[in-house]
């Protein structure tokens, strides 16, 4: 099953992508593979936006703490996933930057 998921482990949430991006002659531009495609590209698996072995994500997809990412508003699940990954990276960068920029408290 292709899609985008979030996996909760303790206080942390990991973002998972398991999809089959395709470039072929049947649909214009890059798109998700479907029955109309005339090619069969490999699966791309990601955790938090970093490409990983497909098996790593397949294992997490079978876990009961994994749930599909639900698209909000006009965003597709793929765009919602991209947004959440970007937000998570930004939050992480921001936190690191703040710590190193802090002046001593005396
Ligand atoms: Zn295609």
The pLDDT assigned to 72 comes to 78
The 10s digit of each residue's pLDDT in 61-76 is 999 999 999 877 888 8
Mean pLDDT value of segment 50-68: 95
| C-alpha separations of 98 from 39, 101, 102 in Å | 47, 5, 6
Could you tell me the distance, in angstroms and rounded to a whole number, from the CA of residue 8 to the centre of ligand 1?
32
Please, which residues bridge with residue 68 across strands? 5
Residue 76: CB partners within 8 Å, gap ≥ 6? none
What is the rounded CA–CA span in Å between residue 7 and residue 60?
7
Could you tell me the distance, in angstroms and rounded to a whole number, from the CA of residue 45 to the centre of ligand 1?
18
The pLDDT assigned to 97 comes to 59
Could you tell me the distance, in angstroms and rounded to a whole number, from the CA of residue 20 to the centre of ligand 1?
9
Could you tell me the distance, in angstroms and rounded to a whole number, from the CA of residue 79 to the centre of ligand 1?
18
Mean pLDDT value of segment 1-6: 91
């Amino acid at each position: 099953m292709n899609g985008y998921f979030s996996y909760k482990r303790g206080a942390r949430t990991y973002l998972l992508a398991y999809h089959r991006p395709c470039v072929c002659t049947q649909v214009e531009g890059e798109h998700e593979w479907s029955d109309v495609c005339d090619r069969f590209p490999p699966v791309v698996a990601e955790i938090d936006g970093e490409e990983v072995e497909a098996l790593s994500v397949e294992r997490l997809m079978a876990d009961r703490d994994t749930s599909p990412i639900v698209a909000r508003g006009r965003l597709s699940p793929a765009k919602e996933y991209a947004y959440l990954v970007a937000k998570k990276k930004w939050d992480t960068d921001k936190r690191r930057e703040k710590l190193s920029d802090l002046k001593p408290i005396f």
